[in-house]
Amino acid sequence: MLAPLLKALAETGHDMGFRLLADKAYSHSSTRTFLRDKRIKHTAPERSDQIAYRKTKGSKGARRVRRRKVQASQDRRAVFQPVQAGA
């Protein structure tokens, strides 16, 4: 698997500011999630069955949007601010 290899590479003190080029074997969703979490840039073509499955899910098949916690809390405060009467 790719994760142990990258962890061993990071332990050696290697600079992780590179782009990983991979083939379709590394396009599994868990591998992509791992790379995104580690903020490793990567390019791996998706398999046709993955693309088709995401399309069948429709709007529920979109990738989730990640927001910073600070931004999310500011959004909540903006939505739930009390309205002052007579202003």
* Each residue's pLDDT tens digit, 15-31: 878 888 888 888 888 88
The verdict on residue 41 lying in a domain is yes
Please determine, for residue 75, whether its predicted confidence score (pLDDT) is greater than 70: no
CA atoms within 13 A on the CB side of 69: 0
Task: Report the first-to-last Cα separation within the chain, whole angstroms.
Answer: 62
Across 1-87, the runs of DSSP E, i.e. the strands, are: 19-21, 41-43
- C-beta of residue 42 within 8 angstroms of C-beta of residue 19: yes
**Assigned domain for 86 exists:** no
Q: Per the domain annotation, does 37 fall within a domain?
A: yes
What is the count of structural domains for the chain?
A: 1
Phi, psi values for residue 79, rounded to 5°: -75, -40
Pick from 22, 26, 24: which is nearest to 1 by CA? 26
What pTM did the predictor assign? 0.52
Q: Domain span at residue 70?
A: 2-79
In a domain, residue 15? The reply is: yes
